[in-house]
Amino acid sequence: MQSGSGLVFVNGIRLYIHRFQPASARPSGLTVLLLHGYLDSGATWDLVAEPLARAGHDVLAPDLRGFGESDSVGAGGYYHFPDYVSDLSSLLDILAPKRLALVGHSMGGTIAALFAGARPQRVDQLVLLEGLGAPITEPGTAVDRMRTWLDDMRSLDRTPRPVGSFDEALDRLARRHPQVPRAILESRARLLTRTHSGRLSWAYDSMHRTTAPVPFHLESFKCFLRRITAPTLYVSGGVNGLRLPDEAERLACIPSTLHVDLPDAGHMMHWTAPEALAERLLRFFASPPESRPPPPR
């Protein structure tokens, strides 16, 4: 059901945009932008994106920089959250949606929250799928993180990471996501690998596997959450999801939030429970708009 997918040039790199736009649906006027998580890609949103598109929404799922079919950063570059936020802002300048629903899973949720706090007037509805920032990191770890990052970068080989066979890729994915049924993982593995110089490899830049040099600053992130004015839906995946110990405290920072739990979905809910997730999203998108609270000064 992808129509109009392709590359978009932003911030000096090319981002691949997966677009789901069935011709038979009556356009709703709402653009739904889906942001994937760590070591994932826009392609694996397909099971959720297709029912959203059938409802008439213009659904787009970019491969974030260094993932999927998008460009990796050049020599001397790195992957920081502000880079992703800047890519998102530039992409929206090009798309210029009349109404925007921003949906982010895990790392993509953190990116969505940062953008929605920095540019609240540009987001009409926000959905965070277990994407409320990283776990708390103590400031005292900063020096060790920087040392580890320097060591990682010195030994980094950015040649596409080879996989011996598709079955090996599937086994690795199963070890990473033990709660996800193997049949689902098989279809996802085909979307997360590619052939490079005749060899199968993962479709992401190996630099993503290095230790980020800067600790996650929770108090700063909370300031972004407090600036969000869009009605916000937070979806968790039950006992097998990625539940932060201070989840309620972080959610309380967002002025207008509805929390929904998909009890058996787990963290990869867009893979394991796409129908239930899509139904929740459609219900949220159809809800009448609320009056927006002004962002705190």
CA torsion 188→190→191→193, rounded to 10°? 120
Axis-axis angle for helices 182-192, 166-176 (nearest 10): 120
Q: In whole angstroms, what is the distance from residue 122 CA to residue 130 CA?
A: 22
296 pLDDT above the threshold of 80: no
- pLDDT tens digit string along 2-54? 557 899 999 999 999 999 977 777 899 999 999 999 999 999 999 999 999 99
Task: Name the burial class of residue 268, with classes exposed (0-12), middle (13-18) and buried (19+) by CB atoms within 10 angstroms of its CB.
Answer: buried
Range with lowest mean pLDDT among 18-22, 109-113, 163-167:
18-22
Q: In whole angstroms, what is the distance from residue 282 CA to residue 288 CA?
A: 12
Q: In whole angstroms, what is the distance from residue 44 CA to residue 105 CA?
A: 11
293 pLDDT above the threshold of 90: no
23 versus 271: the higher-pLDDT residue is 271
- pLDDT tens digit string along 198-253? 899 999 999 999 999 999 999 999 999 999 999 999 999 999 999 999 999 999 99
Q: In whole angstroms, what is the distance from residue 242 CA to residue 190 CA?
A: 24
Beta-bridged to residue 201, according to DSSP, are 162, 194
287 pLDDT above the threshold of 80: yes
Task: Name the burial class of residue 41, with classes exposed (0-12), middle (13-18) and buried (19+) by CB atoms within 10 angstroms of its CB.
Answer: buried
pLDDT band at 159, cuts 50/70/90? confident
